[in-house]
Amino acid sequence: MTALGTVFRPQFPPEVLRSMAETADATGLDQLWVWEDCFSESGIATAAAALAWTSRVRVGIGLLPVPLRNVALTGMELATLHRLFPERVIVGVGHGVQSWMGQVGARVSSPLTLLREYLDALRALLRGEEVSVDGTYVKLDRVRLDWPPLTPVKVYAGGVGPKTLRLTGESADGTLTVADESADSVRRIRELVGDQQEIIAALHAATGPDALERLRRTSPDVGVAGDAETVAAAVRELAAAGADTVVVQPTGDEPDPVGFVRFVAEQVRPLVP
């Protein structure tokens, strides 16, 4: 079955999160995602709050920018979340928006090298291993988490270019598409990452009387605007192309974020096998 989720976007004020999370939990939605966009809301803080306010829905964090975060700190935070909320945390990491990384003095000359080193170290830490590495960017000296997750956890990675996507196929447990992708694009991503890799695809969507106008302001070239069947058809197309999960993203100016969660859970979900 195709998993279905939606997003608490960083354009929404933090105080909207609780209602969105509780609604996703109550309506049976599979996943609720939060983003870590500079300079909006912290992915870890919002995920922890959403998990604490709910009891069932899985909460995804996408994407944690690896230049901004020491890998040992990320490992500590993720291990804590997994211990507190077993089987409910999904995490994705990525290069970060390079202009933002430059603003905070964290931009690196080889994002691919950093991401590969980071994924290898983070996954080892979350397995409870003692990690020593002297990489170009990641340097750890006999680091082991005191409280690693009790069960194996997956680490996802995201990106858009073919080199990054090949890297996610080699070094991550799954791949997030970080922008809207057509069904043809998802098929190409599937070829790059391999048949065994889980793919989480994004779909910008809008519904209501001004849906098309709002969608074009947010995502002018891709996405879908319309009723539940129109959105569900787009979800089914991405699933047929190889997406295991589709995250239906509201526009940044969505007037009713909680209502959008209900729309996805109660109207779109029944139309997606």
User: So what's the pLDDT on residue 19?
Assistant: 98
Residue 220: the pLDDT is 81
Contact 215, 224 (CB under 8 A): yes
Q: What is the pLDDT at residue 240? A: 97
Beta bridge partners of 225: 206
Give all domains of the chain, ordered by start, each with its CATH number.
3-271 (3.20.20.30)
Residues 6 or more apart whose CB falls under 8 angstroms from that of 160 comprise 177, 178, 179
Gap between the Cα atoms of 224 and 127, Å rounded: 40
Give the chain's length: 273
- The whole-number pLDDT of residue 218 equals 84
**CB-based contacts of 231, cutoff 8 Å, min separation 6:** 203, 205, 207, 224, 248, 264, 268
Instruction: Average pLDDT across each block of 10 residues of the chain; the chain has 273 residues. List them in order.
Output: 95 97 98 95 97 98 96 98 98 96 97 98 98 98 98 95 95 90 94 94 95 90 94 97 97 96 98 95
**How far is Cα 175 from Cα 160, in angstroms, rounded to an integer?**
10
- In degrees rounded to 5, what are phi and psi of residue 188? -65, -40
Report residue 16 as tokens.
Answer: 């909207």
SS3 94: strand
Q: Would you state the pLDDT for residue 181?
A: 86
Q: Is 262 exposed, middle or buried (0-12, 13-18, 19+ CB in 10 A)?
A: middle
pLDDT of residue 180: 78
Is 145 buried (19+), middle (13-18) or exposed (0-12) by CB count in 10 A?
buried
Q: Report which of 89, 85, 82 is spatially closest to residue 59, judged by C-alpha positions.
A: 89
Structure tokens at 184: 């043809």
